[in-house]
Amino acid sequence: MSVTYYVALPFIRTEDGSAAGQALECQTAAEANRKAEVMLQNRTKL
């Protein structure tokens, strides 16, 4: 039995380089892609 797990995972800049942010679970790859795009857009507005 195969299990596929989709997440959107932001990366945050730190003084030491980068770190993973909070992962968002998704039911499909398309949903993970959409959430990642929103994360990117929200990040660039800061």
pLDDT tens, residue by residue, 12-38: 889 999 999 999 999 999 999 999 999
Domain boundaries, the chain: 6-44
The yes-or-no verdict on residue 46 having pLDDT over 70 is: no
pLDDT (0 to 100) of residue 45: 60
Cβ of 26: how many Cβ atoms within 10 Å? Answer: 17
Any idea which residue has 């989709």 for tokens? 6
pLDDT given for residue 12 in this prediction: 87
Claim: this prediction has a pTM higher than 0.95: no
- DSSP per residue, 1-46: -----EEE--EEEETTEEEE---EEESSHHHHHHHHHHHHHHHHT-
Res 42: pLDDT: 84
